[in-house]
Structure 1
Amino acid sequence: MDYSTLKSLEPSEFEDAAGGYRTLGDMASQAKDDIEQQVTAGMRKSLKGDAVDEAVRKLQKLAANFHYTQVECALITTALNSLAYELRAAKNKLDVAVEDAAAAQFTVDSDGSVSYPPAGDKVDGKVPEGGTVKGSARESTGNPIDPAGDAKDTANALERQASNLDDNPNHGRALAIANRIAQAVHQATRADEKWAPELRKLKADDDLDVAAEDWADAKRDMGGVRRGANVYLDAIKAPFKDSNPEENATWWKGLSKNEQDALLALDPAGIGKRDGLPAAVRDEANRTVLAETRAKLSLKLDELDKKEPANSQQKWERVITAQNLKGIDAIQRRFERTGEDGLPEAYLLGFSPEGRGRAIVANGNPDDADHIAVYTPGTESSLANSDGDINRGVNLWKTSQHLTDQKVSTVTWIGYDAPQKLFPNATQDNYADGAVDAYGQFIDGLNAANKSGSDAHITAIAHSYGTTVIGAAAEDGDLGVDDIVFAGSPGARVDNAADLDVSKGHVWNEHAKGDDRVNGFGRFFHGGGVSAVDPTDPIFGANQMATDTEGHSGYWDYDDDKNAPSLSIKNQGWVIVGDYGKVELKPRDDGSLLPVDWREPGNWDI
């Protein structure tokens, strides 16, 4: 790029182009949402059968095309905005230099050189003549024999000394301006040279099938644009290093649309896990991470399958890779069920394949909900085994939403590394301790993002070892929920319901017939004896809800054919919607239903 090109350059033209791509990306995003939330949802709502399943699969492929288009357009938008940002900085530097030249009555020629008039004290009876100087950017070339740049510094010093020795004082001023012009042109040239190849890379295959290779390419594109946009990203106000969900929410609202789009395009993993941000934002970010992760794992699985005979390490890698893909498929199946029996759209509030994996899936937007239930599973829960736990969240929504005219959102929170074996893992507290911060941040994030704030009614529902997580979180500080429901609890790590950080009368417990997994063994060993009181014991002080299911895993049974919930899950539903008087309680041996003082004034805050 030369002086004349930069002088006539309008960075806004690149921003206008970025705006066009953003509009195209928004259209693709809307088309994707229409397919998933209206077209396929409408089909699921009124039709059933293999033909519908096949039609939905084809529509999902089309939605994947629009999703891929959205992601690539966002990268192009950010790349163009970054280019415009860097060019504008160079152009502003040039314009200021040219203005300074005009103020000094110098002339800037078409090649960027600066002409200056005669000036100074007479020498041999003549005023020193004017002249023309050509500037230099004088940037370090990274010469290995001059790593400290000392030679450049010396050259600059010698140039200044030579300028000062000139009889015409305008010489030094003109040279300084010419150098600034050269630096501006060099800065613009470097921006152009950096972004031209990156923008050329942002193209897709000409077929309609978004394959794993396409998403892998999108991931590489993201990395390239992110490296190039470091200057642009540095200008975006970053959140505090240890910001809490409320601070995250305030930070996000304070960003411009371009800044938000840039962060979503270049750091979806970071945005997707930031508690306090809107559910729609986290969902968009996490779905990109999900698609790119699925592509990476699929390609890895194909590569491992080609290695025969595989060694033990490769066999283990294949098992883990296949298991994570199984979990991703479970999340995708939930997306495809939107509309089924009125099921609302799903929001992916958290996802990661690291460790045992993370999968946080909401049914309905929790930001708009009056009632939110967060279900925390226990032993053996993981990304790979998420299908059943995601379905429990679905059943909770179907049950509770039919009990109220207000909006309900239910969340499956697989946000911690749960113990994978009953013994000895589930008898240890370290898994629960490791979940405390993540659980607390998530609940605080729901309150921060919800439009009614802390007025939203939140119920913590936990199964098996998940009840230990809730107990540990309550011990650690403000739990941030209004009601707690335990199901199949081996012990909540506290001795009394009063220690669970909710109002009196708002701790509920279910223990089904035949749930022997937590009888004796679990409670005896659990927590190294930290919890001596069984949640079913009257001394614990929980409201014992009636159940009609059997065993350790039936608390969320729902008869889809009859569209009828079990009593076990229906009682949970009444708690979720805050209609406590309709909860059916379990009689005790003496015929009593509740703690003696449960219904006394002031003890049951609804």
Structure 2
Amino acid sequence: MVTLAQLRDAALGGLDRAVVEWTDLAAALDGLVGRATTGVGGPLRASRWEGADADAAARGLAARGEQVMVAAQEARCVLTVLDTAADQLRNAQRDLWAGLAEAAAAGFTVFEDGRMEPADPTHRADVAMISRRHELEQLLAAPVRKATEVDTHCAETLARLYPTGTADWADTAADGTCVMALAGLDLATIPRGDPVAAAKWWAGLNPSERAMYLAGYPAVLGAMDGLPTEIRDRANRVALAEAKAALIAELAAARAKRDAAGRTDDAKWRLRVTALKERLAAIEGLEATLRSGDDLYLMGFSAKGDGRAIVAIGNPDTAAHTAVYVPGTGASLAKVGKDVQRVRRLLIATERYTKPGEVSAIAWLSYDAPDTLVHALSSSDAEAGASKLKYFLRGVGVAQGVSSQRHITVIGHSYGSVVIGEAAKSNGGIYARDIIVAGSPGTHVSKAGDLNLPGNHVWVTLAEGDPVSTLGSGAHAPAVKEKGIWNRVTPDDRSFGANRMSAEGAHGHSEYWDGEHPDSLDNQAAVIAGRYEEVNLLWGSRP
């Protein structure tokens, strides 16, 4: 129990220094994870070392990295508790000091044990003084009682943060929830849906406050457009690990229920187990993708539904040229590795025109893509994804510095071009200088200029034998009457007014990023780098 004298004389600067030290420790641990990835993981991958020993080394490095990530997150939890204690104890101490000053002004002497007597002995039997003493005793008891509560709650919370020695993300997630409740940090205070407001809010936080929000709300911060990419990556990797831990626990519970179920419910639980295993495999696939390079940033993640992921190669915050690739029908978290491979090829091709570090390429799977061609005939997924894409692109621009006017190119494949069309034709358009569509069934406009960009900054490529432009036009290409005949105008039509690029060598719907057929890949790279004179045009006009 805290005493009046202890609270009165408490030197709370020590707690403030401890908060700073734990903040520095969390940052150092984050840096250690990064150095392990680049300093150890990078050379291991570059060495082309293969076999059982190589696999064991990779697993060991991943496990150690995960332990350090847990330690960093727990350090953020500790500093949140300490900061809460310092803040609340300081408030209690101020109230006590104010009460002591009021008691002295009223003519009372306050003793070390909290007892109070009139300074003038002749007033001890005075009824008014007795009543006033009672009031002041209550006034002084309140901050002491509050300090005791704070001390008890903070001590109990610190005790539960004791490390387990293993990377227990379920425990870490529970710790984060606990410390947020203790600190009283309200989720409603975090601005969402406005990248500019999000960036301003983040910039106004001090390092300890940022660490506290990372401790309690990693999934929220990871999804916030406008925040620095490195912060989103850090938050999303924690959110990914916590989601995986929760999914493993859910799978174990489902298996137990399946094993205990009778014949009536057995099929239901078998299906549930299968679905959970597929979701876990998708998350593990994303983890493997993130381990495949030391230049990858996880800018978005969600385990809901088919899953969502935004993976950047290179940091877009510092890139002079950024490509954002939007996949189409069938895209899901389970297949995100394929999308990252495509943007990797784009980045490598673009770097032929730029200096090292000037390019970032992003696989943007942050919408519910249609599962089948039948589902792709609907525009509902594109309409839902369009606003998300707009906010994301705006967030990239905000993180880069809106006044910088850096070069952003958005690339849509198949149904992804429908998403881009919905976003670009809406009020204000999208924050991008160029749009590229490949194998597009339509963009819901009949003229390139209706995408809120000059027509010569809209680029289209269509490979030989790609049927999607024809098959999907009835759903996504507007009908235009020309010379008394109604026709569906897709982006590859000359009348659309876009620049038509060559896709020579590519065939079908999926070879636009195939390194064996470089014409399509090289043309896209030239647009991304702003080297428009290098594009092999079939028709159109270069910017």
Please give the TM-score of this superposition, normalised by the length of structure 2: 0.92
Shift in Å, 1:376:
0.5
Tell me, what secondary structure is at the counterpart of 2:539?
Answer: coil
Instruction: Determine whether 1:39 maps to 2:40.
Output: yes
Which of 182, 187, 193 pairs up with 1:228?
182
Aligned to 2:81: 79
Per the alignment, residue 201 of structure 1 pairs with: 160
Match of 2:288 in 1: 333
Distance 2:188 2:417 in 1: 39
Q: Rate the CA distance shift 1:256–1:334 in 2: closer, same or farther, 3 A.
A: same
Q: Which residue pairs with 2:509 in the alignment?
A: 552
Aligned length: 527
Report the Cα distance in structure 1 between the residues aligned to 2:403 and 2:196, rounded to whole angstroms: 10
Q: Is 1:577 aligned to 2:535, yes or no?
A: no
Q: Which moved more, 1:172-181 or 1:474-483?
A: 172-181
Letter in 2 for 1:584: N
42, 62, 65: which is aligned to 2:64? Answer: 62
Tell me the distance in 1 between the aligned counterparts of 2:203 and 2:469. Answer: 49
Query: Which structure 2 residues correspond to residues 66-465 of structure 1 after superposition, within 5 A?
Result: 66-118=68-120, 129-130=123-124, 167-206=126-165, 209-210=166-167, 214-230=168-184, 233=185, 238-240=189-191, 244-306=194-256, 307-308=258-259, 311-339=266-294, 345-405=295-355, 407-423=358-374, 425-451=375-401, 453-465=403-415
After superposition, the C-alpha distances for 1:182-240 in whole angstroms (9 at most, x for unaligned) are: 0001111111221221110001223xx42xxx11111111111111111xx25x99355
Q: Give me the whole-angstrom Cα distance separating, in 1, the residues matched to 2:475 and 2:24.
A: 59
- Displacement of 1:454: 4.7
- Say yes or no: does 1:543 pair with 2:508: no
Checking the alignment, whether the CA contact within 8 Å between 1:117 and 1:170 is kept in structure 2 is: no
Displacement of 1:463 after TM fit? 0.6
- Kindly state the Cα deviation for residue 464 of structure 1 after the two structures are TM-superposed: 0.5
Q: 1:557 to 1:286 in 2, by over 3 A?
A: same
Moved more, 503-512 or 481-490: 503-512
Amino acid at match of 1:200: A
Whether contact under 8 Å (1:436, 1:473) holds in the other structure is: yes
Matched residue SS, 1:558:
coil
Question: What TM-score, normalized by structure 1, do the two folds share?
Answer: 0.82
Q: Which has the higher helix share?
A: 2
Letter in 2 for 1:7: R
Q: CA deviation at 1:387?
A: 2.1
Q: CA offsets per residue over residues 521-580 of structure 1, 9 Å max, x none?
A: 221244796993111110011211111222211111236xxxxx7222121111111101
* Conserved 8 A contact 2:367-2:388: yes
Residue 320 to residue 393, structure 1, CA distance change in 2 (3 Å):
farther
Distance 1:237 1:174, change over 3 A: farther
Name the CA distance, whole Å, in 2 between partners of 1:334 and 1:471. Answer: 29
SS at match of 2:456: coil
Residues 489 and 243 of structure 1, relative CA distance in 2, 3 Å threshold: closer
Structure 1 CA distance for aligned equivalents of residues 57 and 519 of structure 2:
35
Distance in structure 2 (CA, Å) of the matches to 1:11 and 1:245: 37
Structure-2 residue corresponding to 1:21 = 22
CA distance in 1, matches of 2:155, 2:133: 33
CA contact under 8 A between 1:272 and 1:350: conserved in structure 2? yes
CA distance, structure 1, for counterparts of residue 332 and residue 62 of structure 2: 25
Cα offset, 1:61, TM superposition: 1.4
Q: In structure 2, do the counterparts of structure 1 residues 348 and 434 end up closer, same or farther at CA, with 3 Å as the change threshold?
A: same
CA–CA distance in structure 1, aligned partners of residues 353 and 283 of structure 2: 31
Task: Pick the structure with greater CA Rg.
Answer: 1
- Spell out, residue by residue over 1:110-167, the C-alpha distance to the aligned partner (whole angstroms, 9 max, x if none): 2222212459xxxxxxx6x326xxxxxxxxxxxxxxxxxxxxxxxxxxxxxxxxxxx4
Structure 1: segments with no counterpart, 5+ residues = 120-126, 132-166, 340-344, 560-564, 586-592
Residue 558 of structure 1 aligns with an amino acid whose one-letter code is G
- Secondary structure at the aligned position of 2:297 is classed as strand
The verdict on how the C-alpha distance between 1:18 and 1:294 changes in structure 2, with shifts beyond 3 A counting, is same
Gaps of 5+ in 2: 481-486
Counterpart code for 1:329: E
* SS of equivalent to 2:319: coil
RMSD: 2.2
User: Whole-Å Cα distance in 2 between the matches of residues 447 and 372 of structure 1?
Assistant: 10
- Structure 2 CA distance for aligned equivalents of residues 391 and 400 of structure 1: 14
Q: In the TM superposition, what is the alpha-carbon distance from 1:348 to its structure 2 partner?
A: 0.9
- 1:243–1:546: structure 2 CA closer, same or farther, 3 Å change rule? closer
What amino acid is the match of 1:378? G
Contact 1:368 1:451 in 2 (8 A): no
Q: CA deviation at 1:437?
A: 1.4
Name the SS of the counterpart of 1:311 in structure 2.
Answer: helix
Contact 2:441 2:476 in 1 (8 A): yes
3-state SS of paired residue (2:138): helix
Cα distance change, pair 85–334 in 1 and its aligned pair in 2 (3 A): same
Contact 1:427 1:527 in 2 (8 A): no
Alignment-derived partner of residue 566 in structure 1: 518
In structure 2, how many angstroms separate the alpha carbons of the residues matched to 1:500 and 1:6? Answer: 65
Give the secondary-structure state (helix, strand or coil) at the position aligned to 1:10: coil
